[in-house]
Structure 1
Amino acid sequence: MNAQLPTSIVGSLPKPAWLAEPEKLWAPWRLQGEELVEGQRDALSLSAAEQALAGLDIISDGEQTRQHFVTTFVESLGGVDFERRETVRIRDRYDASVPSVVGAVSRERSVFAEDAKTLRAQTDRPIKWALPGPMTMIDTLYDRHYGSREKLATEFAKILNEEARELEAAGVDIIQFDEPAFNVFFDDVKDWGVSVLEQAAEGLRCETAVHICFGYGIKANNDWKATLGDQWRQYEQSFPLLQESAIDIVSLECQNSRVPIELIELLRGKKVMVGAIDVAGADIETPETVADTLRGVLRFVDPDKLYPSTNCGMAPLPRQVARAKMVALAAGAEIVRGELALTG
């Protein structure tokens, strides 16, 4: 792995057409039973190889064994009824039919440990695994049991911590918690969101990250972004809290966003995973465009703490576009590494 500016994707990559319908979130699987399990593992291995070929330093699973970054985890838990569904507003943005929490949530066995072992066997590079964060989990469910967002999130944090410990034992080097809800529920983030997130990461020896973005490049998210005005200052609420937290890395959206870049200064001292690749469209960044983004960020992040990445997951994009964007990310980071070497 490059010691400086190590590159990675944030979450998902497009799935092969033989596994699921291309360019679609929540795409149904095209295989069943043992064939599905084998196909998912094959896709995971292929995803790891494509990241390595693109030149990325930290390898992820590309979420090839998951239909959705939250739901696939929740499906394996007790206390959640997928037949009793309610329509809720996801992150105050769009309506979705979601399952109900009908009893005490529980986890009988690890959801992803075997998949993580498969990924670990594919590469000698560091590997990263993403889990849904507690606040984002409760935002995608209807609670019929706890009657308290904080209480349900705390129970999920305990379950996530159990899962994270097994992932660490499987050889995962970075565990990332996805919390796009941190860009919406600011009072909850301040009152209990960060502390509950820290409970999910408690006791881990591997590095921990929290990813906060403005969402996949789907119409509902893009329409919401269009209402946010000339400056997207949501990070101003969460960054000071996370700077003081026990989380090692903060992952944020930067490329083609209206986030004032100086807000990154609020994280000074933390490692920062900066999104230098836009996922809201199929236009492919040039390496120089990526490099320019990273140069701007280096005014606010020390070079040894900057992790170039994508803004969010790339599942809705064509596979060839996602591949090209990964290549651009790696090449752009290499340009800046060379510049840093010249300046000492």
Structure 2
Amino acid sequence: MQPIPIKTTVVGSLPFPGWLEFASMNLAQLGPTDVAEMIDDAVIAAIHDQVAAGLDVITDGEQTRLDFNLSFYGFIKGIQNDASETRKYGPPAHDQRGKNSIVALLSAPNGLGVVEEYKRLKRLAPVGQGLKMSIPGPYTLAGRLNPGEFYKDRWEITEAILPLVSKEIANLVALGCPEICIDEPSMSCYAYREDTKRFVDIFNRTVAPGVGKTRLSMHLCFGNYKGRSVGKKTIAPMLPDFLDMTVDELHSEMTILNFAEVNLLERFAEQFDVAVGVIDVKSYYIETAADVAERIRKILPYVPAEKLAVAPDCGLSQTARWATKLKLKAMCDGAKLVRGEV
């Protein structure tokens, strides 16, 4: 199949509809059938918003996740939330997400829930629509867990989580999931100070069950907690080691960098397809199609159109739904403008 030039996609998350947030705070008033219907309706809404915008590849909007990675702790046995550590007031920052203690060896006997999410997406999405599922990688998942009696540091926790993620990937592959995106923002946030070769080894072992069996993509960003970044905003430290990732497509934020390092994308394009952030999810300036087209033209000298996908910088869970719909439509319209040129 011919690749779609300047393919349009998203990272994974979309904002919750307001009614879903309200219902989630009042679950005691709902029965099991109500909850199942609510979940389907939320995913249908996410699908609608993406299809209406014109996206080539969509997700379920991560509508069943209360957080892109913390929700997974509910599937992993051996974790106890430490609510007392969480800062309750003041400006938003990552410490408000809290930490969790490990009280037993980590396991996920019933999986991590992504298989069920994919089955739902496939059942509800239009026939022929490009689909992908996102799952956080083990290093990122280890980030809010306190080492203790069972694991001495984040690296050991990562190794304990790695087979749990790998098994979920294997199960998605067995179901024919056409694309699996591994979210590892912690790797891009800390590439400037940690062992990047170790990151590559962890990633490659994690995705091993999917290599050659599905399309594998990787999302790298600088964090997005309530519209705030957390990492050092530069992709330079990822090179050259990240070129050894076993992946088909690598996604990087770029709009938040004001395209300052756009030339470095040429290095990534030597090894992978490249998804590039052309929408600022942390701003309520609504991009126009012309804005997006201008940004894409800045990328094309370094990434060929047939290897390029465009997406928002990061997931859209922290962006209001009204703005998300406008931004995605502008992104798709801008991509069409430049497709006509190339």
- Whether TM-score is above 0.5 comes out as yes
Among candidates 198, 203, 209, match of residue 203 of structure 1: 209
Amino acid at match of 2:155: E
Provide, for residues 291-338 of structure 1, a one-character-per-residue CA deviation record: whole Å limited to 9, x for no partner: 111111111112211011010111222211111111111111111111
Question: Would you tell me which structure has more helix in proportion to its own residues?
Answer: 2
Provide, for residues 195-222 of structure 1, a one-character-per-residue CA deviation record: whole Å limited to 9, x for no partner: 111111112111111111122263543x
Provide, for residues 171-217 of structure 1, a one-character-per-residue CA deviation record: whole Å limited to 9, x for no partner: 42111111111233234342421211111111211111111112226
Measure how far apart 1:30 and its partner are: 4.0
Amino acid at match of 1:128: K
SS of corresponding position for 2:20: coil
TM-score scaled to structure 2, two decimals? 0.87
Amino acid at match of 1:253: E
TM-score scaled to structure 1, two decimals? 0.87
Number of the residue aligned with 1:24: none
Distance 1:52 1:94, change over 3 A: closer
Matches within 5 A, 1:124-163: 124-144=128-148, 145-163=150-168
Distance 1:100 1:290, change over 3 A: same
| 2:309 paired with 1:307 | yes
* Conserved 8 A contact 1:86-1:142: no
Q: Could you tell me how far apart the structure 2 residues matched to 1:282 and 1:200 are?
A: 36
**Structure 1, unaligned stretches of length 5 or more?**
22-26
Measure how far apart 1:264 and its partner are: 1.1
Number of the residue aligned with 1:318: 320
Among candidates 190, 193, 211, match of residue 196 of structure 2: 190
Number of the residue aligned with 1:117: 119
Distance 1:29 1:207, change over 3 A: farther
Provide, for residues 36-61 of structure 1, a one-character-per-residue CA deviation record: whole Å limited to 9, x for no partner: 33312220122112211110000111
Number of the residue aligned with 2:90: none
Q: How many pairs does the alignment contain?
A: 323
* Conserved 8 A contact 1:243-1:268: no
Distance 1:333 1:182, change over 3 A: same
| 2:71 paired with 1:72 | yes
Provide, for residues 128-179 of structure 1, a one-character-per-residue CA deviation record: whole Å limited to 9, x for no partner: 1111121111112212221032222122111101111222233421111111
Q: Could you tell me how far apart the structure 2 residues matched to 1:131 and 1:189 are?
A: 22
SS of corresponding position for 1:266: helix
Q: Could you tell me how far apart the structure 1 residues matched to 2:307 and 2:144 are?
A: 32
Distance 1:133 1:65, change over 3 A: same
CA RMSD of aligned residues (A): 2.3
- Which deviates more from structure 2 when the two are superposed, residues 281-290 or residues 79-88? 79-88
Measure how far apart 1:29 and its partner are: 4.0
Q: Could you tell me how far apart the structure 1 residues matched to 2:240 and 2:37 are?
A: 44
Q: Could you tell me how far apart the structure 2 residues matched to 1:238 and 1:264 are?
A: 11
* Conserved 8 A contact 2:221-2:314: yes
Matches within 5 A, 1:1-344: 3-20=4-21, 29-31=25-27, 32=30, 34=32, 35-82=34-81, 86=85, 94-96=94-96, 97-110=98-111, 111-121=113-123, 122-123=125-126, 124-144=128-148, 145-186=150-191, 187-204=193-210, 205-216=213-224, 218=226, 220-221=228-229, 232-233=233-234, 235-258=235-258, 259-269=260-270, 270-340=272-342
* Conserved 8 A contact 1:58-1:126: yes
Taking every aligned residue pair, what percent have the same amino acid on both sides?
A: 28
Measure how far apart 1:17 and its partner are: 1.2
* Conserved 8 A contact 1:252-1:275: yes
Q: Could you tell me how far apart the structure 1 residues matched to 2:36 and 2:65 are?
A: 11
**Structure 2, unaligned stretches of length 5 or more?**
88-92
Q: Could you tell me how far apart the structure 2 residues matched to 1:317 and 1:219 are?
A: 8
